Amino acid sequence: MSNGIKLILLLAEILTVGSALVVAVNPNILYSAVFLLFSFLGVAVMFLFAGADFLAATQVVVYVGGVTILILFAIMLTQWMYRLKLRDVGSKFIVPAVVLALGLVPMLHRGLTDLARMVKAAPPEKMSEFAASPKTMEIGKALLGSHVLPFEAITILLLGALVGAVWLARPKS
Amino acid sequence: MQFPILSLMTFIPLLGMLVILALPKDKPNLVRWTSVIFTGVPLLLGVWLYRHFDASNASVQFVERASWIKAFNIEYYMGIDGLSIPMVLLTVLLSFLCVFASWGIEKGVKGYYAMFLFLESGMMGVFCALDFFLFFLFWEVMLLPMYFLIGIWGGKDKVYAAIKFFLYTLAGSVLMLLAMLAMYYYSEPHTFDLLALAENHKQFLDKTVTLFGATYALDKILWLGLFIGFAIKVPIWPFHTWLPWAHVEAPTAVSVILAGVLLKMGTYGLLRMNYPIFPEATQWASTALMILGVINIIYGALCAMAQKDLKKLVAYSSVSHMGYVIMGMASFTTAGVNGAVMQMFNHGTSTAMMFLLVGVAYDRVHHRWIVKPDGSKGFGGIAAVAPVYTGMMAIALFASLGLPGLSGFISEALVFLGTFSNPKYQSYVVIGSIGILLGAAYLLWMFMRVFLGPLNEEHKDMTDMNWRERLTLLPLCVLVIVLGVYPMPVLNLMGPTIAKLLAALGVA
Amino acid sequence: MAQSCLWIVALPLTAFVIQALVGKKLPRHGDWVSVLAILGSFAFAAPIFLEMIRSGHVSEVLQYKWMTMPGVEAAANSPVLNKAVTLTVGILVNNLTAIMLFMVTLCASLIHIFSTGYMHGESRYHLFFAYISLFSAGMLGLVISDNLLTLFMCWEVMGLCSYLLIGFYYQKVSANHASLKAFMTTRVGDCLFFLGICGLYVVFGTSSLSEIYKALQAGTGTGVTIVGVPALAFIGFMLMMGTVGKSAQFPLQVWLPDAMEGPTPVSALIHAATMVAAGVFLLVRTYPILEKAEIVLPVIGTIGALTAFLAACIALVQVDIKKVLAYSTISQLGFMVLGMGVGSFAPGFMHVITHACFKACLFLASGSVIHAVHTQDMREMGGLRSKMPITFLTMFIATLAIAGVPGFSGFVSKDRILGDALAYGMTHPGWMWIPILGFITAGITAFYMFRLIFMTFFGHARDEHKHHHAHESPFTMTFPLMVLAGLSLAVVFAGPTGIHSIDAKLLPVHWFDHALDTVKAEMGVHGLHVEEALEHRAHGLALMVSLTVAGLGIFLSALTYLKKVISAEAFEKSLKPVHTLLWNKYYFDELYIKVIIQKLLLPFTVLLAKFDDKVVDRTGVDGWATLTLFLKSIVGKFDDLVVDRMMVDGSGNVVSAGGWVLRQLQTGKVQQYLVFTFIVLGFFIFYFVR
Amino acid sequence: MNLLDFANSIEGYLLVSSILFVLGVFAVLTRKNAIGILLGIELILNAAGINFVAFSKFHSAAMDGQMVALFIILIAAAEAAVALAIILRFYRLKQTIDADEASLLRN
C-alpha cells in the first residue's frame, strides 16, 4: 500500500485519539459529545483499513448516526440549554486519573503487543488479501452459520433494551 | 403366659390417670369415685396376689419377662418375692385409703387425683421391677407426681419443700444411675437384671476403679453409690432434712403415702440391690450402717421432742422408726432382718394412721401447732370435744411407740432380739432402747399437751370424726391390732426370702 | 387346768372389748359385765388353788408357736447369724401361779365390787370398768405366762392401763402429768427388762421359763458374756431394773405417790395389790437366774432395804392419807425386794400375798373415808370412829397387820423376812446393815400407820362440817373391806399366832409353806441355806427385836397423836432440815423432772432441733444451694463480662468498626468503585505483564 | 520502522485502542455528568472493537474478530439507549444528572 494511504490511516488514528482526549477532558458535555462523533469516524476509518468494510459502515450508521444523536438528545433534555454550566470534571479524582492514564497506557500497550507476539501472526500476503476482500457476504454467512446463536441472543437483547428504554423513559402516567 | 397381674397392678392406676384427665372438670365427685375405682381394682388384685403367693418358696414369683431394649439387653422384668410383697400390699392399701382421705381437696381435683394415680403406678413399678433400668425408671417417674402434689396442693412454703424434695432425691438417684451404669459395664454378659447380677456377684470383687486419680475397690464404691441414693430416701441421718419439710408442706394424703411407702423404697432398695450384689461390701459397711441406724433412732427421737408442729413431730418420729429398720438390717440376723422388713410394714400402717389423724385435725382447725410459735397454746384438751378422734390417735400413738399387743412392738422386739443376738452389736441395742424410751416420751407428751388437760377455747366447736374418716382409719386400726397379736400372716411371707438373702450374704 | 387359765385371761379381755365398744349403752353402763367377768375368772382360779392346797403340787406347761422365722444354719464364723428363730407363747401353772391367781382374782373382784359404789355417777364410768377389766386381763396374763416375752407384753399392757387410769380425770393437768410420769418411769424399767429378755435369748435361745429352769439346772449359760459382763449377771441386773421400774423401787420410785391422782379403787388395785406386786413376782419367777448370778442378789437386797427405809421416813411427814399409804406400799415392796435379795424366797413371796390383802384393805378403807368426807387431807379428819365403825374396824385390823403385830398376816411374813435377813447378815457380815435397816423400817412403819389411824379415827373432829356429813359407806363398799380384813389374819398364812415356834406345835406344816417348798424344789431354787442352829438363833433374835420395835412404834405414835403428850410440831421444828428434806421426798422429783428433764433434756432437744434445722438443713443442704447460687453469680458475671462483653461483643465491635471503615468506601458513587476496580486492574496488569 | 508503518501495523492499532481505552476510563472516572460517563463507556467499547478488528486482520485473518466487533457495536447501541433512558428518568427524579447525586445505595 502506498504511503499516502498509510498516512490516511495515521491521520485517522490521530483524529480518533485527539477527539477521545477532548471527550475525556472537556468540561462542557456538549463539546465532548460532538468530539465523540469524530472519534467514532476515526474508528470507522481504522476498520476500513483493517479490512472490515461492513463493520465500518455499521460503525458509521449505528454509532455516528444513532448513538451520538441519542446522546445529544439526552444532553439537550437534561441541560436546560446552557443554563447549567456543569463543572464537569470531578476535581478530587483528577490526580489519580492522570496517574492511572500515564501509567496504564504503556503497560496496556505492552501487554497487548506481548499477546500479539505470542499469538502466531498470519502470513503477510494472506493478511493483505484478507484486508482487501469484501466482507459483507462472509459476515452474512457467519451470522447465519457459525455465529447464529449470538445473533439470536442479540436479537432478544435488542428487543429487551428497546422495551426497557421505552418503559424507562416514558413520561409519568 | 399366665395372668400378668403385676403389670396390671402397675398400669391400671396409669390408665386411671388418663381416664381422669378426660373427665369433665366441674364434676369433682365423678373424678373422686373414678379414682376410687382405679385404686380399688389394684387393691382387689393385691388381695388375689396375697392369696396366691406361695409363701414357702423364696424365689421370685409372678414373673413377667419381655425384652425391651435389645441393644443393651434391658428387659421389662417384673416379679415379686417375700421382700416386695408386703410393700406391694402396703402401697395398694394406702393408695386406696388415701383417695378417701383426700376427699377434702377442693382445688384442682382432677389434677390432684391424676397425679395421685400416676404416683401409685410409679410406686408399684419400683417394688415389682427386677431389672435395674426399669427400677430406676419407675424410681424417677415416682418423683414427678410427688413434686407436683407437694408443690401445688401443699401448705405455706410448698414450693421450697417440693423443690428441696425433688432435687435431694434426684441428687441421690444420679449416684444410683452412675452405679447402675458401672454395674452394667463391669458385669460380664452386660446386663441390668438384678437377679443375674446377684448370682455372679463375684465378678465385682477385687476389681479397682480410679476416680479423680485415686483408685478404689469397685464393689465398695458401687455399694456406696447405691447406698447414698437409697440413704436419702430412707432417710438416713445426714440426708434426712428434706423429710420434715416435705411432710409439713404436703397435703395429708400425700404425706401419708410419703411416710407410708416412699421411705420404705430406700431400705427396700438396699435389701434388693446392695445386700445380694455386694455382700462383701455390705459386711464391710455393716458397723457403719448400725451406727447410722442408732443415730437415726436417737437423733430422730430427740428432734421430735422439740417440735411444735404436729406433722414435723410425726416426720421426725418416722426418721426414728426408720432407724430401727436400718438397725435390723445391719444386724445380719434372721430375727433382725425379719424385724426390719416387718417394721417397714408396721411403720407404714401406724404412721399412715397418725398422718391421717393429723389431717383430720388440720381439716377442722387449719393449724397443726401443739404450741403456737408465739408460745400460746395450740391444741389443748381435745379429748373432751372429740372422744373418738382421741381414741384413734391413742391407738396410733401406742402402736408407733411400740406398746406390746400392737404391731409396733412386734417389729421393734424382733429388731432388738436380732441385734442383741449378734455379739458385736449388743451395746448398740442398749442405746437403741433409749430410743424407745424417747419415742414414748415425745409421743405421750404430745398426746398430753394436745388431747388431755383443760379444753382450749378456740377448738370448742371442733366436730368429731365423720364416718368417712372413721372408715378410712378402720382398716389400719384392725391391721395394727391384729398384726400386734398375731403377726404371722405378714411374717411368714418374708421368712424364706430373707433366709435366702442372709444365706447368700453369709456365704460371701 | 391350763385351759381354765386361758379362760381366766379371756373373760376380762372380752369384758374390756364389750365395755370399750358398747359399754355406754348397756344398762348401768355395763359395770356388771366387768364384775361378772372378774368373778368368772375367780371362779376358774379357785379350783386350781384348791387343787394346789389338796395335792400340794400343781404344775402344767402349755406352749404354742407364736412367731417362726426360717433360717439356714450358716457357717460357724460367718458374720451372718442365720439360725431359725421361733418365739413361743405359753402357760406355766405351778404353785406360785395358783396362789397369785387366787390372790389377784380375789382382790380384783373385791375392788371391782367396791368401785361400782365408789365410782357411781362418774362421767366416763363405763370406760373406767373397761380399763380395769383390761388391767385385770393384763395382770392375770402376766401371772400365768410361761414365756417372759408374753410376760413382758402383759407387763406393758398393765403399764398402759395404769397410764389410762391414773389419767382418768384427764381434765386435771396434775393427773396428766402424773400419768405421763408413771408411764415413763415404768417404761424406763421396761426397756431394761426387755434387754434382759434379749439377753435370755442370746444365752438360752428361748425366753420360756420352764425351759430356762431345766437349762439352768443343766448348767448352761455360765461362760457367755454380754457387753463384757457375765451373761447371767447382766440378765439378772436387767430383770431387777424391770422390777425397780414397776414396783417403784429406789431410783424410780417417784411415780407411785403421784399415781394417787387416779381414783382410789385404782390405787388399791394397781398401786397396792397387783401391778406393783408384779415387779416382785418377776423376781420370784426368775429367781433361779438371779441365784445363778451371785452378785445380783446383794444388789437387790440393798435396793430393797434402802427403798424401804427412805419411803418409810417420807411416809412419816405426809398429811394426805393416800400419800401415806402410797409410801407405805413402796416401803413394803422394799421389804419384799429385800427378802428376795437376802435369799428368803418363800417369806418374800408370802409378803407379796399378805401385803396385797391388807394394803388393798387399807386403800379401800381410805377410799370409803375419802368418799365420806370428800377430802384426802388427814388434818381435816378426826374422830370418825363413831361415824364409820365398820371402816374403822377393818382399817384397824389391816393396820395391825401391816404394823407387824403377832396374830396378823403382816407379822408372819415380815418376821420371817427379817429373820432370814438377820441370818444373811450374820453369815455375810458386810451386809449386816440390811437387817438393821429392816428393823428400823418396821418400827417406823408401825409408827406412821398408827399415826394415820389416830389422826383419822381418834381424837375430836377437826372439821365440823365434814364430820357432820360423814356416814358409813354402803354395803358394796364395806363388804370387800370385811373380806380383806379377814384375810389379814395370821391363821390364813401360818398359824393362829403367826409365831413359828408356837404354831408349829398346833398344826402340821401349813399349806402355804408346803406349797412353796415344792415349787422351790421344782424351780431349782436353794434360797438361803444356813445351818439349822444359826437359823434358829437368828429367827429367835429377829422375833424379839421386831416385837420390841413394833411395840415401841405404836407406843410412840399413841403418845404423840392420841394422848398428844409429845407435840409433833415441836419435833418437826427441831428437826426442821430433816423434815423439809422428807417433805420434798429427798428432792427426787426435782432432780428427775426439774433438772434432768426440764434443764437438760428439753433444752438439749431444742438445741438439737435448732442444730438440725440450722446446720444440717440450712447449711448442709441449702448450703449447696447457696454455693451453687454463689458460683452461678460468679460464673454469670464471668460469662457476662468476659465471654459476652469482651469476646462476642468485642469481635462484633471489631467487625462493625471494620465494617464502618469499609463502608466509607461505599460512597454510592459508581465512579469511585470503578476507580478502585481499575487500580486493582492496574496492579494485575503490572504484576502479570511485567 | 517509521511512523506510517507503525500506524498500519498491529502495534499502531493496539496503541490507539489502549489510548482510547484509557481515555474512556478517565472519562468514566472523572466525569460528574452522567452522560459524560456514557461517553466514556462508548470510548471503551470502541477500543475493544478496534482490538478485535486488529487481531482479526493481523492475526487470524478470519471473520471471528469482526463478528465480535459487530456484536459489540450492536450491544453498545442497546446499552446507550437504556443508559440514556435511565439518565432521563434520573433527571426527572432529581432534576440533575450529577453522578454524585445517584448515591442512594451508599453506606
How many domains is chain A partitioned into structurally?
Answer: 1
**Residue A104 included in any domain:** no
Using pLDDT thresholds of 50, 70 and 90, give the confidence band for residue C466: confident
Q: Which residues in chain B have their CB less than 8 angstroms from residue C137's CB?
A: none
Residue C543 confidence (pLDDT) above 60: yes
Instruction: Please give the C-alpha separations between residue B181 and each of B128, B209, C299, C596, C665, in angstroms, as whole numbers.
Output: 20, 13, 61, 52, 62
Neighbours of chain C (3+ CB pairs under 8 A): A, B, D
Cβ neighbours of B420 (radius 10 Å): 29
Assigned domain for A118 exists: no
Asked whether the predicted pLDDT for residue A90 surpasses 70, the reply is no
| Beta bridge mates, C377 | C320
Indicate if B331 and B272 belong to the same structural domain.
Answer: no
Closest of C248, C215, C245 to residue C232, by C-alpha:
C215
Q: Which of B177-186, B295-304, C22-31 has the lowest mean pLDDT?
A: C22-31
What phi, psi does C163 have (nearest 5°)? -60, -45
B-interface mutation test, from C66, C72, C80, most B Cβ less than 10 A away: C80
Looking at chain A from residue 27 to 66, which residues have their Cβ under 8 Å from any Cβ of chain D? Answer: 29, 32-33, 36, 39-40, 43, 46-47, 49-52, 54-55, 58-59, 62-63, 66
Q: By CA distance, what is C672's nearest residue in D?
A: D29
Q: Do chains A and C touch (3 or more CB pairs under 8 A)?
A: yes
Q: Are residues B274 and B304 in the same domain?
A: no
Q: How far apart are CA B20 and CA C226, in angstroms?
A: 60
The torsion defined by the Cα of C266, C271, C272 and C275, in degrees rounded to 10, comes to 100
**CATH architecture label of D3-103:** Orthogonal Bundle (1.10)
User: Residue B343 — φ and ψ, nearest 5°?
Assistant: -65, -35
Residues B101 and B215 in one domain: yes
Tell me the chain D residues in contact with residue C663 when contact means C-beta distances shorter than 8 Å.
Answer: 107
Calculate helix-pair angle for B426-451, B407-421, nearest 10 degrees.
160
Region C70-76 average pLDDT:
71
> Of C381-390, C514-523, C661-670, where does mean pLDDT reach its minimum?
C661-670
Task: At B254, list the grid cell.
Answer: 400425700
Tell me the mean pLDDT in the region C501-524. Answer: 77
Chain A residues close to C685, C-beta within 8 Å: 104, 107-108, 111
Write down the pLDDT at residue C625: 81
Is-contact C290 C297, C-beta < 8 A?
A: yes
Q: How far apart are CA C100 and CA C104, in angstroms?
A: 6
Per residue in D45-64, pLDDT (tens digit) is: 999 999 898 888 887 777 88
The whole-number average pLDDT for the span B125-140 is 92
CA-closest candidate to residue B437, choices C190, C591, C199, C158: C190
What's the pLDDT score for residue B473? 92
With a cut of 60, say whether residue A87 has pLDDT above it.
no
pLDDT of residue D92: 81
Range of the domain at B298: 287-508
**What is the percent of chain C with per-residue pLDDT over 70, rounded to a whole number?**
98
Residue C62, C-alpha cell as written in the block = 402349755
Does residue B86 have a cis bond before it (omega within 30 degrees)?
no
Of all residues in chain B, the percent with pLDDT exceeding 70 is 99
Does the pLDDT of residue A92 top 70, yes or no? no
Closest CA to D50 of D20, D28, D30, D29: D20
Are B157 and B141 in a shared domain?
yes
> Which residues in chain B have their CB less than 8 angstroms from residue C79's CB?
283, 286, 332, 506
Q: Which helix (H) or strand (E) holds C308?
A: helix C296-317
Nearest to C240 by CA among C284, C292, C181: C284
Average pLDDT over residues C364-370: 88
pLDDT computed for residue A88 by the predictor: 55
Band the pLDDT of B95: cuts 50, 70, 90: very high
Query: Last residue of some domain: B284, B319, B341?
Result: B284
Report the distance separating Cα B122 and Cα B103, nearest Å.
Answer: 22
Q: Tell me how far apart the alpha carbons of residues C416 and C84 are, in angstroms, rounded to a whole number.
A: 47
Residues B309 and B233 placed together within one structural domain of the fold: no
State yes or no: pLDDT of C562 exceeds 70. Answer: yes
Distance from CA of C673 to the nearest CA of A (A): 12
Q: What residues does B211 pair with on adjacent strands? A: B214
C170 to B334: CB separation less than 8 angstroms, yes or no: no
Residue A85 pLDDT level (bands cut at 50, 70, 90): low
Q: What confidence score (pLDDT) does residue C133 get?
A: 92
Residue D97 at interface with chain A, using a CB cutoff of 8 Å: yes
Give me the residue label for grid cell 371402816. C391
CA distance B507 to B501: 10
Label residue B187 left, alpha or beta by phi (over 0 means left) and psi (-120 to 50 means alpha). beta
Among B137-141, B369-373, C503-507, D22-26, name the one with the lowest average pLDDT.
C503-507
Q: Helices (DSSP H) in B331-453: which residue ranges?
A: 334-365, 382-385, 387-400, 407-421, 426-451
The model carries a pTM of 0.77
> What is the pLDDT averaged over residues A150-171?
88
Q: What is the pLDDT of residues C91-115, one digit of tens each?
A: 888 888 888 899 899 999 998 988 8
pLDDT band at B452 (very low <50, low <70, confident <90, very high): confident
State yes or no: pLDDT of B293 exceeds 70.
yes
* Residue B445 near residue C593, CB atoms below 8 Å: no
Size of interface C-D (CB pairs under 8 A): 33
Burial C88-109 (b: 16+ CB within 10 A, else e): bbbbbbbbbbbbbbbbbbbbbb
pLDDT digits (tens, 9 = 90+) for B15-45: 999 999 988 888 888 999 999 999 999 999 9
Which of B103-112, B236-245, C612-621 has the least mean pLDDT? C612-621
3-state class (DSSP) for residue C81: strand
Task: List the single best residue of C680, C685, C688, C690 to mutate versus A (max A Cβ within 10 A).
Answer: C685
The dihedral sign for the CA sequence C103, C106, C109, C110: negative
Residues B401 and B475 grouped into a single domain:
yes
Are B358 and B405 in the same domain? yes
Straight-line distance from the first to the last Cα atom of chain D, in angstroms, rounded to the nearest whole number: 54
- Number of domains chain B is built from: 2
Domain presence at residue A78 = yes
Q: Calculate the CA B406 to chain-centre distance.
A: 19
Question: B315-349: per-residue pLDDT in tens?
Answer: 999 999 999 999 999 988 888 999 999 999 999 99
- Residue A33 C-alpha cell reads as 459529545
Q: Which of D13, D15, D71, D72 is nearest to A51 (CA)?
A: D13
Q: What is the mean pLDDT of chain A?
A: 82
C682–A114: do the CB atoms touch at under 8 Å?
Answer: no
Average pLDDT estimate for C79-84: 76
Number of Cα atoms under 13 Å in the Cβ half of residue D38 = 29
Residue of chain C whose Cα is closest to the Cα of D37: C671
**What domain range includes position A74?**
3-92+135-169
Last residue of a domain, one of B243, B269, B284: B284
On whether the CB atoms of residues B418 and B338 are closer than 8 A, the answer is yes
DSSP C582-600: HHTGGGHHIIIIIIIIIII
| A116 located within any domain | no
Task: Examine the domain organization and report whether B66 and B178 are in the same domain.
Answer: yes
- Cβ-proximal residues to A93 (8 Å cutoff; 6+ apart), any chain: C671, C675, D29, D30
pLDDT of residue B90: 94
DSSP letter at C320? B
**Which residues, other chains included, contact B135 with Cβ-Cβ below 8 Å and sequence gap of 6+?**
B125, B126, B129, B194, B269, B272
Q: Which of A52-61, B155-164, B203-212, C679-688 has the lowest mean pLDDT?
A: C679-688
- Can you tell me the distance from the alpha carbon of C136 to that of C266, in angstroms, rounded to the nearest whole number? 11
Q: Is residue A64, in this structure, part of any structural domain at all?
A: yes
Residues B459 and B419 in one domain: yes
Burial class of residue C300 (count of CB atoms within 10 Å of its CB; 0-12, 13-18, 19+): buried
ipTM tops the 0.90 cut: no
- Any CB–CB contact under 8 A between A76 and chain D? no
What mean pLDDT comes out for the span A13-35?
87
In single-letter form, the type of residue at position B384 comes to A
B82 and B176 both lie in a single domain: yes
Q: Mutual orientation of helices C321-342 and C433-457 as an angle, nearest 10°?
A: 160
Instruction: Burial-class residue B322 by CB neighbours within 10 Å (0-12, 13-18, 19+).
Output: buried
Q: What does the domain layout of chain D look like in residue ranges?
A: 3-103
DSSP alpha helices (H): ranges in B154-270? 158-186, 194-199, 218-233, 242-249, 252-257, 263-269
Regarding whether B322 and B268 lie in a shared domain, the answer is no
* Mean pLDDT for chain C overall: 85
Which residues are CB-neighbours of B347 under 8 A, at least 6 positions away? B259, B263, B264, B318, B321, B322, B325, B400, B408, B411
Confidence of residue A86 (pLDDT cuts 50, 70, 90): low
Q: Tell me, what's the pLDDT at C412?
A: 85
Task: Tell me, yes or no, whether A51 lies in a domain.
Answer: yes
In this complex, whether D and B touch, counting 3 or more CB pairs under 8 angstroms, is no
Q: Cell digits for C32? A: 356388771
Region C526-546: mean pLDDT is: 82
Are the Cβ atoms of A158 and D36 closer than 8 angstroms? no
CATH assignment of the domain containing A80: 1.20.120.1200
Q: Given CB atoms, is D22 within the 8 Å cutoff of chain A?
A: yes
CB B35 within 8 A of CB B116: yes
- Predicted pLDDT at B369: 83
User: Which are the contacts of B234, defined by CB distance < 8 A and separation ≥ 6?
Assistant: B263, B266, B267, B270, B322, B325, B326
Domain termination site, one of B268, B284, B300: B284
pLDDT at B318: 92
Contact between B78 and B128 (Cβ < 8 Å): yes
Q: Mark whether B258 and B310 lie in a shared domain.
A: no
Question: Distance between CA atoms of B86 and B289, rounded to whole angstroms?
Answer: 23
| pLDDT tens for each residue of C433-452 | 888 999 999 999 999 999 88
The pLDDT of residue A48 is 87
Lowest-pLDDT choice from B148-162, C559-573, D69-83: C559-573
pLDDT of residue C138: 92
Q: Say what the pLDDT of residue C507 is.
A: 67
Q: How far apart are the first and last CA of chain A?
A: 60
